[in-house]
Structure 1
Amino acid sequence: MLLDRVKPLDAILATAEKKGLHRSLGAFQLTLLGIGAVIGTGIFVLTSEAAQKAGPGMMLSFVIAGLVCAVAALCYSELASMVPVAGSAYTYTYAVMGELLAWMVGWALILEYAVGASAVAVGWSGYFVGLLDNSLGIHIPAALAAGPSAGGVINLPAVVISLLVTGLLIIGTTESARFNAILVLIKVTALTVFVAVAIPVMNSEHFEPFMPTGITGVAGAAASIFFAYVGFDAVSTAAEETRNPQRNVPIGLIGSLLFCTIFYLIVAAGAIGATGDSSFAQPVRDAAGAFLQPGTSELTARCQELAGMGHEPLACSREALAHVLRSIGWTKLGNLIGLAAFLALPSVVLMMMFGQTRIFFVMARDGLLPEKLASVHPKFKTPHIVTAFTGIVVTLAAAFLPVGRLADYSNSGTLFAFAMVALAVLVLRRADPGRARPFRTPAVMIIAPLAIAGCLYLYVSLPLIAILVLPVWGIVGLLIYFGYSRSRSHVGRGIVDVPETEIADIEPPIPGTE
């Protein structure tokens, strides 16, 4: 049977204790970790994408995406407190619904972490290019600052930052991540300054019409904005390195998500209402009055045409928040926002790539991937092979694809993983009702189905190409599973614990927690 390979929870916990990672993280560190992973390209860059899809209605999009993440976080909290080991959704699925579905979740998480890191790199590129242009007068040619669909050839800054982060992770996460807590502070301070300047000059008339593209546009924007919340599950990925995970993981998950949701709504309100131009946050239309799709060459051409007329709407900017402040006369503050994004966004690239290596580590520990992938560099003590492989994938995607499209691809994998976690909670409640649950999802028969339905709703609201990415990616994953992984699985071979000699320990600390 295809669903008969379930790894017992007791075996997973025993393996974690025997071959696990050092437990050193507390609730405050986990919350910082969550905030650091969440606040990034989503709010700094995808505000433009949301404005094109929904106009001022993106306020409602933030609420929808935040609610879906909230119910998913409650499900994550129960499983993370019960199974405090590395691997996140992959491990939970393995323990509840078996190896095949666990493989599919782990495979989908590559979209979340690796492709997500590419999206952040492209977002960073936009702020970097704008910062050089506005602060130093250095202009990077469009051909080298964007991919083909955005009117360029290759996004060179995104390539450079991806390779730099890869190199730092190979050299050592301790050396590359000591400033993570400082970078979180920089991001939060920058957004606070934005709110302090934008909210007092907000004009309620700029919110009309509130939903120019209707509920379809709002749902589409919510599906894209969902990327702005991705990262909170990195907290559960760190469960194996957490002190008292039964208490601290739920606090870290829900605390970071609540903080970011409130912050996002206030920032979005300021972006929409601050400018003196009532059409600033409305979607860009073509000459015939039809709404243009984000990430297309048609939108790029129209934005260039509008810029030539002295009008650059929010949807046309690659550095949304800095652009808003410059448009209301705060040029220097806008440049400072750009500087903050320039300094802080690489930490999100690092966190996402770090999370990807953690997923690969656990899959290799289970025998589903070549154990060579989890080998440790003799000098740097990091999983250099899998880090280099991840870095190549991230770099290629960032070089040629626009940020919105990358975010949508990433979301398709993330939504699948989140839905599987919610389903796992329901299955485990029935299959093992007596197991201790330090954190119990409240009203689970309501919350878990809402999480599944919410993930499905956002998934079908993605652009068609992003919807198709998941099944195509899944087919590739199934070919690898049946061609390689299934026959080498530890569980399939009757090994429920990892032999001491079969895989090296990987013990780099979580970024920012040293």
Structure 2
Amino acid sequence: MWRVKSLDAILATAEKKSLHRSLGPIQLTLLGIGAIIGTGIFVLTASAAQKAGPGMMISFVIAGAVCAVAALCYSELASMAPVSGSAYTYTYAVMGELLAWTVGWALILEYAVAASAVSVGWSGYVLGLIENGFKFDFPDLLSAGPTWSMNGFIPTPDFSAGIVNIPAIVVALLVTALLMVGTTESARVNAILVAIKVIALTVFIVITLPVIKSANLSPFAPNGLFGQYSGMGIVGAAASIFFAYVGFDAVSTAAEETKNPQRNVPIGLIGSLAICTIFYLLVALGAAGAIGAQPVLGAAGEAVQPGSPAFVAACALPANAEMLVCSNEALAHVLRVVGHPQIGNALGTAALLALPSVILMMIFG
């Protein structure tokens, strides 16, 4: 249970069954960006603003800095053991087989659940586009899975709302088929998808930065550093924003398929995090400065958690209809408010096209 696998044994095994080393620093960085920039930045901006106001910019920096420390650790370990397996392999070499087995299954669950969740999210986007654009009513039973309840200790499915999510299965199978073709081909497709995401965010930044009003950035931190309630304030927003960075560790799983991994894996990890942090910071500045990012207040003037009944009631008021924090698609909403509704819709479409890159990196891991 506690036996470790020495570094020499790990490297010897990797040499016998080595994967083809085809990835360079640019491809690794693009893989990292593909894994990181997903629904997080397009969705979480609103809830972060409710927690921290314009101070969410600091929250993005805090979350990025925490991830950077973890990325430095991954870089060091990937340089020492440039083989596949990521945290599983590193744990096996240091802490023993039992913990490595646990970490290995945790990684598989992380990547599988993330790929499934993004596939379901992509399905929702696509079906909305099809039903609104082509007036085609896709069967509900084939666009959602069953709901589950506990009958004593036995999980029981309820198929009344849905049987299976066909679009989610299709996109997951297409991405899996692409990965089976080869890593090089997958990296090329990922580069195209990443370009779409980067262009979409760049367009948002270019449009919003010139219309920033300093008055929209005051007060900068209405809920303070820690907030009146747990999970609020700049630090609370940083905790939720952390989700927008999840996926960078998947770069380390590519160590065995990377040319000169001691040099290129750290470049891919730190480079993708740095680029994404800069984009996130500029997007947050553009969103907050263009239309404001002040949180809505409860009936008694108190700070309210995003998603809470008090928050929903506050967002239902006509006076708060245009507030950034009340939008389910924050970035598209900002562009509509500043007079670019068509570009806002195009941004949503770009996010839709680019989401498969997140699925790709999760299944690749």
Could you tell me how far 1:312 is from its partner in structure 2? Answer: 3.6
The equivalent of 1:55 in structure 2 is: 53
User: Which of the residues 163, 174, 181 maps onto 2:169?
Assistant: 163
The equivalent of 1:64 in structure 2 is: 62
Could you tell me how far 1:255 is from its partner in structure 2? Answer: 1.3
Give me the TM-score of the superposition, normalised by structure 1.
0.60
| 1:238 corresponds to 2:254 | yes
Cα deviations by residue, 1:114-164 (Å, 9 ceiling, x for unpaired):
33334534654675577568877889999989x99xxxx9998x9454312
User: Which of the residues 240, 243, 246 maps onto 1:227?
Assistant: 243
Code of the residue aligned with 1:194 in structure 2: it is F
In the alignment, the residues of structure 1 paired with residue 361 and residue 271 of structure 2 have an alpha-carbon distance, to the nearest angstrom, of 18
| 1:9 corresponds to 2:7 | yes
In the alignment, the residues of structure 2 paired with residue 160 and residue 297 of structure 1 have an alpha-carbon distance, to the nearest angstrom, of 33
Cα deviations by residue, 1:168-211 (Å, 9 ceiling, x for unpaired):
24544256945221111000000000000000001121122222
Cα deviations by residue, 1:295-318 (Å, 9 ceiling, x for unpaired):
445544543x23x56714222222
User: Which of the residues 321, 340, 357 maps onto 2:331?
Assistant: 321
Could you tell me how far 1:337 is from its partner in structure 2? Answer: 0.5
Secondary structure of the structure 2 residue equivalent to 1:45: helix
The equivalent of 1:218 in structure 2 is: 234
Could you tell me how far 1:20 is from its partner in structure 2? Answer: 3.0
Go from structure 1 to structure 2 and tell me whether the alpha carbon gap of 1:115 and 1:48 turns closer, same or farther (over 3 Å shift). farther
Structure 2 spans left out of the alignment, 5+ residues: 148-158, 227-232
Secondary structure of the structure 2 residue equivalent to 1:285: coil
| 1:94 corresponds to 2:100 | no
CA RMSD after TM alignment: 3.3
In the alignment, the residues of structure 2 paired with residue 206 and residue 140 of structure 1 have an alpha-carbon distance, to the nearest angstrom, of 42
In the alignment, the residues of structure 2 paired with residue 46 and residue 138 of structure 1 have an alpha-carbon distance, to the nearest angstrom, of 30
Is the CA contact 1:134–1:335 (under 8 Å) kept in the aligned structure 2? Answer: no
Could you tell me how far 1:87 is from its partner in structure 2? Answer: 1.3
Go from structure 1 to structure 2 and tell me whether the alpha carbon gap of 1:203 and 1:142 turns closer, same or farther (over 3 Å shift). farther
Report matched runs for 1:271-420 at 5 Å. 271-275=287-291, 278=292, 281-296=293-308, 299-300=311-312, 302-303=314-315, 305-306=316-317, 311-355=321-365
Code of the residue aligned with 1:37 in structure 2: it is A
Secondary structure of the structure 2 residue equivalent to 1:243: coil
Is the CA contact 1:194–1:321 (under 8 Å) kept in the aligned structure 2? Answer: yes
Could you tell me how far 1:347 is from its partner in structure 2? Answer: 1.9
Greater displacement, 292-301 / 23-32: 292-301
Go from structure 1 to structure 2 and tell me whether the alpha carbon gap of 1:64 and 1:136 turns closer, same or farther (over 3 Å shift). farther
The equivalent of 2:33 in structure 1 is: 35
Is the CA contact 2:322–2:337 (under 8 Å) kept in the aligned structure 1? Answer: no
Is the CA contact 2:115–2:363 (under 8 Å) kept in the aligned structure 1? Answer: yes
In the alignment, the residues of structure 2 paired with residue 254 and residue 267 of structure 1 have an alpha-carbon distance, to the nearest angstrom, of 20
Is the CA contact 2:299–2:310 (under 8 Å) kept in the aligned structure 1? Answer: no
Aligned residues between the structures? 342
**Percent identity over paired residues:** 67
In the alignment, the residues of structure 2 paired with residue 293 and residue 155 of structure 1 have an alpha-carbon distance, to the nearest angstrom, of 29
Is the CA contact 1:161–1:346 (under 8 Å) kept in the aligned structure 2? Answer: no
In the alignment, the residues of structure 1 paired with residue 80 and residue 301 of structure 2 have an alpha-carbon distance, to the nearest angstrom, of 54
Go from structure 1 to structure 2 and tell me whether the alpha carbon gap of 1:102 and 1:295 turns closer, same or farther (over 3 Å shift). farther
Greater displacement, 57-66 / 284-293: 284-293
Code of the residue aligned with 1:220 in structure 2: it is G
The equivalent of 2:73 in structure 1 is: 75
Code of the residue aligned with 2:198 in structure 1: it is V
Structure 1 spans left out of the alignment, 5+ residues: 356-514
| 1:265 corresponds to 2:281 | yes
In the alignment, the residues of structure 1 paired with residue 109 and residue 133 of structure 2 have an alpha-carbon distance, to the nearest angstrom, of 35
Could you tell me how far 1:45 is from its partner in structure 2? Answer: 1.5
Could you tell me how far 1:342 is from its partner in structure 2? Answer: 0.9
In the alignment, the residues of structure 1 paired with residue 224 and residue 88 of structure 2 have an alpha-carbon distance, to the nearest angstrom, of 36
Is the CA contact 2:320–2:326 (under 8 Å) kept in the aligned structure 1? Answer: no
Is the CA contact 1:41–1:119 (under 8 Å) kept in the aligned structure 2? Answer: no
Cα deviations by residue, 1:317-365 (Å, 9 ceiling, x for unpaired):
222211110111100110110110010012212321332xxxxxxxxxx
Code of the residue aligned with 2:59 in structure 1: it is S
Secondary structure of the structure 2 residue equivalent to 1:187: helix
Code of the residue aligned with 1:222 in structure 2: it is A
Cα deviations by residue, 1:437-492 (Å, 9 ceiling, x for unpaired):
xxxxxxxxxxxxxxxxxxxxxxxxxxxxxxxxxxxxxxxxxxxxxxxxxxxxxxxx
The equivalent of 1:361 in structure 2 is: none
Is the CA contact 2:5–2:92 (under 8 Å) kept in the aligned structure 1? Answer: yes
In the alignment, the residues of structure 2 paired with residue 22 and residue 209 of structure 1 have an alpha-carbon distance, to the nearest angstrom, of 54
